[in-house]
Amino acid sequence: MTIEASVYRGIIGQFATGVTVITTGVDGWLHGMTANAVTSVSLDPLLLLVCVDKEAHTHDHLSRAGAFTVSILAEDQQDLSRTFATSNKPEEGRLQGVGYRIGENGAPIIDGCLAAIQCEVTERTDGGDHTIFFGRVLDATAERDAPPLLFYQGKYRKLG
C-alpha cells in the first residue's frame, strides 16, 4: 500500500502542533526558521529533537554550529512565525529585524517567546528529505505566560 505525499500531508495536518522558531549562530552569523517538527525525546538524559528540511537555509548553518535554541511562540507572534517560514533567502547574519538575546549556547532566544530551550547537537540522523537533529538540553526557561501559537489543518489556530 502506498499513499500520495499530498494525501499524507492533509492527514498529518489533523495533528495540532505548537509553533517554534529554531535559531542557531555560526561564524558570527545568526539564522532562524519556523518549525513545528519539534519533540521532547527523553528526560534522562534531557533530549529534544528537531526535523529540518535539507533544503532549508538554516540546515547547513545548524549542521556547522552544533547548537540551537527552540523559542516556543505565543499566539500574538503569528507574524514572526511567517517571517521565519518564508523560503526566500534570509538576510545574511541577521534575524530580519526581530528582537533577541544570545543564549549561553551561542544561539538567539527570540524576544517575547513563551519559553526557550537551549540545546547542543548530540546526533544527526537522516530522515528522508529532512535531517533529524537530536539536542541535549543545556537550559530551558519560561519567558512569559500567554496563550500558545498553534497550527492545525494548515492554518494558525487559537485555544478554545
What is the tens place of the pLDDT at every residue in 59-118? 999 999 999 999 999 999 999 999 888 766 655 556 778 899 999 999 999 999 999 999
Q: Within its chain, how far is the Cα of 158 from the centroid?
A: 19
pTM of the entire predicted model: 0.93
Domain formed by 18-149, architecture = Roll (2.30)
CA–CA distance from 90 to each of 25, 57, 127 (Å)? 14, 8, 24
